[in-house]
Amino acid sequence: MVAIRGLHISKSYGHYRILEDLSFEIAAGECYALFGPNGAGKTTLLRILATLHRPSAGRLEILGRDAIQEREVVREALLLLAHGSHLYDELNAVENLSFAMALRAASPTDREVKVALDQVGIGAFAELKVRYFSAGMKKRLAMAKAILAHPKVLLLDEPYTSLDETGMVIMNRYIQALLKEGASVVMATHDRIKSAEVADRAGVLTHGVLRPLTREDLKTCDLF
């Protein structure tokens, strides 16, 4: 089953053409790694998939729905973990998770929240305000948010940035568990080694054009 289908997607900012006629399909239970140099349009593509940006042209379907016309419905199924952690500095970890879940009309139990925090290794900091968190801890808390949200489509922008080795292992373990549940994952990353552990397919975005990569490409060639 196709979870994400992009047809002739283009995006321009003024005279700058960022994405050029992209067509792609990502299946349910598949992880797609997106590579590309800085400014290639990886984040723009993720933001289009997250329904935060509208493409200048083309059609996007997520879980069989038109992601542009029916974005409110589509948003229930997807989650973006972006560069910004989407966390409130003045709330503690538990409060951040509760608020984030309330916006998704979900109300996890205290036990579920605790399990999610323990799973990402920050259970000891449940009552600490996020303003005192390091970048890596914020990333882990954002991961806990994803664990509680059970997204059918998870979009990850630089998922390994700021994480220590253990954090990266936890991230990949979580991605693998999510894939087993049938969810789809799209990640924009520069980390070939870590992403190769979970990615089923990969592509490189250069000058707005998406080129498919094989596993061998990931290991050997100069991507850009």
Name the segment binding other proteins (CB under 8 A); options: 15-23, 45-53, 59-67, 212-220: 45-53
Q: Whose Cβ is closer to other proteins: residue 98's or residue 206's?
A: 98
Footprint (CB under 8 A) of other proteins, residues 131-150: 138
Count Cβ atoms below 10 Å from residue 60 Cβ, excluding itself: 22
User: Is there a contact between 164 and 136 (Cβ–Cβ < 8 Å)?
Assistant: yes
Q: What is the smallest separation between the CB atom of 176 and other proteins, expressed in angstroms?
A: 24
Rg of the chain over Cα atoms, rounded to whole angstroms, equals 17
Among 26, 33, 50, 179, binds other proteins (CB under 8 A): 50
Q: What is the smallest separation between the CB atom of 207 and other proteins, expressed in angstroms?
A: 26
Confirm or reject binding of residue 52 to other proteins (CB under 8 A): yes
Q: What is the smallest separation between the CB atom of 50 and other proteins, expressed in angstroms?
A: 5
What secondary structure letter does DSSP report for 183?
A: -
Footprint (CB under 8 A) of other proteins, residues 61-120: 71-73, 75-76, 78, 80, 82-90, 100, 103-105
DSSP string, 102-150: HTTT----HHHHHHHHHHTT-GGGTTSBGGG--HHHHHHHHHHHHHHH-
d(CA 125, CA 43): 30
DSSP string, 69-97: TTHHHHHTTEEEE-SS----TTSBHHHHH
Place of tokens 């808390």: 141
Q: What is the smallest separation between the CB atom of 74 and other proteins, expressed in angstroms?
A: 9
Q: Whose Cβ is closer to other proteins: residue 71's or residue 190's?
A: 71
Footprint (CB under 8 A) of other proteins, residues 154-193: none
Name the segment binding other proteins (CB under 8 A); options: 8-16, 36-44, 49-57, 112-120: 49-57
User: Is there a contact between 63 and 153 (Cβ–Cβ < 8 Å)?
Assistant: yes
Residue count, binding to other proteins (CB under 8 A): 25
- End-to-end Cα distance, the chain: 31
Q: Whose Cβ is closer to other proteins: residue 85's or residue 202's?
A: 85
| Binding region for other proteins (CB under 8 A) | 50-52, 71-73, 75-76, 78, 80, 82-90, 100, 103-105, 130, 138
